[in-house]
Structure 1
Amino acid sequence: MPRVVSVFFPTLATDRIRRADPSIPAETPLVVVARSGPKRWLSAVDRNAARLGLHVGMAAAKAQALVQGLQMVDGDLAADLVTLKRLTLWALSQYSPVVAMDPPDGIVMVTEGADHLQGGEELMLSGLVNRFRARGLPARAVVADTWGAAFGLARSTTAETRVIPTGKTADAVARLPISSLRLSLETITSLRTLGFKTVGELAATPRAPLTLRFGQEIARRLDQMFGRVAEPIEPIRCSEIIEVHRAFAEPIGAAETIAKYVSRLVVKLCRELQTNGLGVRRADLIVHRVDNTIQALRAGTAKPVRDVVWLTKLLHDRIEKIDPGFGIEKLSLAATMVEPLDDKQIVSSLVTEATVDVGAFVDVLGNRGTYRIYRIAPVASDVPERSIKRISPIAAETGQTWPTVWPRPVRLMDHPELIEVMALLPDHPPVWFTWRGKRRRVKRADGPERIFGEWWQRTSEWAAVRDYFAVEDENGERYWIYRSGDGVDTETGSHRWFIHGTFA
């Protein structure tokens, strides 16, 4: 069963306006006004306005009278849709081969076959909403078995992310309000008049009377939410995406047949890439089944490639994930992320220089789900925790090196840990220190090495100082500890001691 993610942007319209006009103060309440003839009402409100009691549907004149200094902007549905499309195309390149707009304020994605590249569903959702929030776009994301369930839960929950386990859809949606069924406002109003409040109540009601009065729409939406009827998601595409297709007069299903046609699609795709001087970074195989459902597989590469043999191998390694069902009627292969790639001329030489290319190894690990593949590179900073960063394993050398004047520990802790010490201030190393409940007597010490704060990073570091010592205890174990402050002036630090790393 496919897994569907619904992403909901509760304040998309106001967030778009703030991003377009940074001069609007962050604390100013902002609303979007829609109009129909002489009637004007609020079609969107930001968090500031919501805290003041304003809500969607309120008359604009009433809102203006209630809140002094209210910022009111006329709605622009076309601009909202352009923003939503841009976000959808970004999600297509980053998260899933099957992504579609869910207007006016949402995105829907089929993540089966792609979530392993992000570390699983929970990490994928948290990373997704964090990246949107960093761009000034608060979002909620829910993954469930069906589009209808994920849609309703995303718009009814207050949590940023939620993962509904496979097969638990019915329990999760039973208490949702009937407004989450994507029915017309008129139908929802009539159902409420009849006393229906939740999806569970509506699902437990005999269908014949509801169908006689409201038609087939209620039954269809219920079946879509509970997964009884397939709801196809047509993935978004743009003119820049290079895509090749193969339709079949008779459905196919055997793994050998699928592999044969995938190989042919790879050849066609690489030919198109060569024509455009491009290499693929992400290739998506879209499987269209005869039951009107879609499956997708994603293969990523560490660097742009258009090697037919290698791309074919990456996709063939994952063909076993495809469930053909009653048959496959169409295969599509799309290059959803590309980069320029020029052909290099091979110069003949009597001396062959051996070059090691780990790109293929990284590709294999990445497509198997080992998503955190990186290497450590130095950064020009004296502050230890800022002197390293994670980069791509095949990234070019930066030319930076680590300090060699003073030794550095082989293990640097993510966060320095507080220790208890006895030391003579201001420049002497500890006589002993207690770390993780065990007291260690210092036999040898080297230091202090003074590291100053970086005032250009934060103003609070203007006078900050750390004094580092490399110490060895009676068992021969060596530690890297420091005192926050110079031992004299309290403005330079708290004068507490921390352990920051261990030596080999």
Structure 2
Amino acid sequence: MRRVFSLCLPDWPTDRLRRMAGDKAPPADAPLIVVGREGSKRLVTAADAAAVALGVRVGMPAAKAQALVAGLTIRDADPVGDAEALERLALWVLQRIAPIVAADHPDGIVIDTTGADHLHGGEAAMLDGLLGRLAMSGITAQAAIADTWGAAHALARFAARPTVIAPPGHDASVIASLPIEALRLPAAMPGELRMLGFERIGDLLGQPRAPLALRFGPEIGRRLDEALGRSAEPIEPIRPDELVEARRVFAEPISAAETIARYTAKLVVALCAALEEKGQGARRLDLICQRVDSRAQAVRIGMAKPIRDAKRITRLLCDKIETIDPGFGIETMTLCATIAEPLGSRQSVTSLIEEAEPDISDLIDTLANRVGERAIYRAAPVASDVPERSVCRIPALAPDTGAGWPDAWPRPARLLLRPEPVETIALLPDHPPVSFTWRGVRRRVKRADGPERVFGEWWKRDAELSAVRDYFRVEDDAGERYWLYRAGDGEDAATGSQRWFIHGVFG
């Protein structure tokens, strides 16, 4: 089932200006507007949240906005610059989210995420991840996922706070309550419809099409059909000029999995030859199959390091052919290297003494393309005494960070995601517990070692100025070993709650 991700950037012109200004940008709470010309009039074409909160509205005369808000920052509109920057952002999204991405001018991006959400941990995680990155860059965004471009576009702009996910296979009820402006109709048409008593999309759904088409033309019916999935609305994916790709157009549509696999292998050979000419290897590949009904099916694979091994790439792509729904047939297949990096020639080891390092990248690529890149990682040490901050995740084939693991005190093989409280019987201030109850099971302590005192990192936040933890390694009657700690020094309440927690389990 098709799923479409619509990203709305309501403050794109002002956000872009702030990013361009860098350190010279006005403060975030300083009102900023963009002014353009409409004939001889100077009107507000964009206003940030601070300006809107003070009463400025898009379409308001610039002179009125200046009189309304003291200290208003005004910049000239640059629609061409806004459009070019939106295209660049769409390319960034293309490399990181899904194979089919297009700029949805003037204030958004549309993404066909069919079959790609599992690579990001699901639709909710994909939404949160993208919006989080944009927020860190100072870009206001809201987004929605639905079965059609029209529905996702409407929800992103009129229902998302800041996100909304329509259930797969949804009906018209998800957009029925939205205003008629959500249908992407020509600017003057919503006002004319309101004069006839139409306020919501639901008001149009039950109306006969003929009278509406006679007065307003086919636009209303077309937009309704697109939003409800009754007619196709293809997304023309954005493609950078330097993109390396191979394409095959068929005189007769193909649909058999064996045929798709055969032509996929031919496209891979052609693409690898093109990459070799440029001295590059592919890190991310997209196979886009254009069906005869104008719908596209896409497959994305990623590699841990740049490669141009045709046999290996073909196998990774063919592993996902079962996810392609050919419908009534595929008329065009395109294979493109969305991310390509320099790849030099590799000299084989010929020494009788040195042994070649085992190459596990093939295994990592296979697993990552099945369960998602985030599920395959390595743990690396971080310079921190606080246990939960002393480890981080890095890509499976990332180079060593150079940091070493602490060896003064043993660390558990399994560190819990977050410390879990336990009920204990212990002698204070610095004795280990005699017994503890964890997850409803009471365990009697047979042996213990400690305490290892860990101090808070005062330079991170004031609350850790006096915070301490006393860690103990304990072993119960069954021989199981655990890592417990007391929050505090056992005497001063300012150092912690004096409660006990379990933080890890030794192998």
Shorter-chain TM-score: which interval?
over 0.9
1:194 and 2:196 are equivalent in the alignment: yes
State whether residues 43 and 62 of structure 2, in contact with CA within 8 Å, keep that contact through their aligned partners in structure 1.
Answer: yes
Give the Cα–Cα distance (whole angstroms) in 1 for the partners of residues 420 and 62 of structure 2. Answer: 55
Q: Identify the residue that residue 276 of structure 1 maps to in structure 2.
A: 278
Q: How does 1:116-155 map to 2 (within 5 A)?
A: 116-155=118-157
Query: Which deviates further from its counterpart, 181-190 or 404-413?
Result: 404-413
State whether residues 149 and 169 of structure 1, in contact with CA within 8 Å, keep that contact through their aligned partners in structure 2.
Answer: no
Picking from 232, 251, 254, the partner of 2:253 is 251
Picking from 431, 435, 449, the partner of 1:428 is 431
User: Identity of counterpart residues, as a percentage?
Assistant: 58
Give the Cα–Cα distance (whole angstroms) in 2 for the partners of residues 362 and 430 of structure 1. Answer: 43
Letter of the aligned partner of 1:163 in structure 2?
A: I
1:414 and 2:417 are equivalent in the alignment: yes
Q: Identify the residue that residue 5 of structure 1 maps to in structure 2.
A: 5
Give the Cα–Cα distance (whole angstroms) in 2 for the partners of residues 294 and 445 of structure 1. Answer: 62
C-alpha deviation, 1:369, in angstroms: 3.1
Give the Cα–Cα distance (whole angstroms) in 1 for the partners of residues 399 and 271 of structure 2. Answer: 28
C-alpha deviation, 1:236, in angstroms: 0.3
C-alpha deviation, 1:314, in angstroms: 1.1
Give the Cα–Cα distance (whole angstroms) in 2 for the partners of residues 183 and 291 of structure 1. Answer: 24
Secondary structure of the equivalent of 1:7? strand
Specify every segment of 5 or more residues in structure 1 that has no aligned partner in the other structure, as ranges: none
Picking from 300, 310, 329, the partner of 1:308 is 310
Q: Identify the residue that residue 407 of structure 2 maps to in structure 1.
A: 404
Post-superposition CA distance 1:224-266 (Å, at most 9, x none): 1111221111100111211111122333333332222211111
Distance 1:472 1:320, change over 3 A: closer
C-alpha deviation, 1:220, in angstroms: 1.4
State whether residues 349 and 355 of structure 2, in contact with CA within 8 Å, keep that contact through their aligned partners in structure 1.
Answer: no
Q: How does 1:322-471 map to 2 (within 5 A)?
A: 322-350=324-352, 353=355, 355-371=357-373, 372-421=375-424, 423-436=426-439, 440-471=443-474
TM-score by length of 1: 0.93
C-alpha deviation, 1:18, in angstroms: 2.3
State whether residues 145 and 169 of structure 1, in contact with CA within 8 Å, keep that contact through their aligned partners in structure 2.
Answer: no
Two-structure CA RMSD over aligned residues (Å): 2.3
Distance 1:321 1:443, change over 3 A: closer
Distance 1:352 1:156, change over 3 A: same
Secondary structure of the equivalent of 1:376? strand
Distance 1:469 1:173, change over 3 A: same
* Alignment length (residue pairs): 504
Q: Identify the residue that residue 167 of structure 1 maps to in structure 2.
A: 169
Picking from 217, 220, 223, the partner of 1:221 is 223
State whether residues 487 and 495 of structure 2, in contact with CA within 8 Å, keep that contact through their aligned partners in structure 1.
Answer: yes
Secondary structure of the equivalent of 1:185? coil
Secondary structure of the equivalent of 1:368? helix
C-alpha deviation, 1:313, in angstroms: 0.9
State whether residues 285 and 335 of structure 2, in contact with CA within 8 Å, keep that contact through their aligned partners in structure 1.
Answer: yes
Q: Identify the residue that residue 81 of structure 2 maps to in structure 1.
A: 79
TM-score by length of 2: 0.92
Secondary structure of the equivalent of 1:150? helix
Secondary structure of the equivalent of 1:50? helix
State whether residues 81 and 103 of structure 1, in contact with CA within 8 Å, keep that contact through their aligned partners in structure 2.
Answer: yes
C-alpha deviation, 1:76, in angstroms: 1.9
State whether residues 144 and 169 of structure 1, in contact with CA within 8 Å, keep that contact through their aligned partners in structure 2.
Answer: no
Distance 1:483 1:69, change over 3 A: farther
Q: Identify the residue that residue 204 of structure 1 maps to in structure 2.
A: 206
Give the Cα–Cα distance (whole angstroms) in 1 for the partners of residues 197 and 126 of structure 2. Answer: 39
